[in-house]
Amino acid sequence: MDYQLVPMDKSHLKEVAELDKELFTRPWSADSWESELYNDTVSLVVAEDPDGGVLGYGVLGVILDEGCLEKIAVRPDCRRKGVAQAILGSFLRYGEEHLAYIGLEVREDNSPAIALYEKNGFTAVGRRKNYYAEVHKDAILMDKVFREVTP
Domain ranges of the chain: 4-145
Closest CA to 124 of 95, 144, 109, 149: 144
- The pTM of the full predicted model, rounded to 2 decimals, is 0.94
Q: Which CATH class is domain 4-145?
A: alpha beta
CA distance 67 to 24: 21
CA distance 67 to 99: 7
The share of the chain scoring above pLDDT 90, in percent, equals 91
39 in Cβ contact with 52 (< 8 Å): no
Closest CA to 57 of 83, 77, 93, 24: 83
**Average pLDDT for the chain:** 95
pLDDT at residue 45 tops 70: yes
Query: Looking at the DSSP assignment, which residues form a beta bridge with residue 61?
Result: 42, 68
pLDDT at residue 151, as a whole number? 67
In sequence order, what DSSP letters do the residues of 77-105 get, joined into one string? Answer: GGTTSSHHHHHHHHHHHHHHHH-SEEEEE
* Residue-wise pLDDT tens digits, 101-128: 999 999 999 999 999 999 999 999 999 9
61 in Cβ contact with 67 (< 8 Å): yes
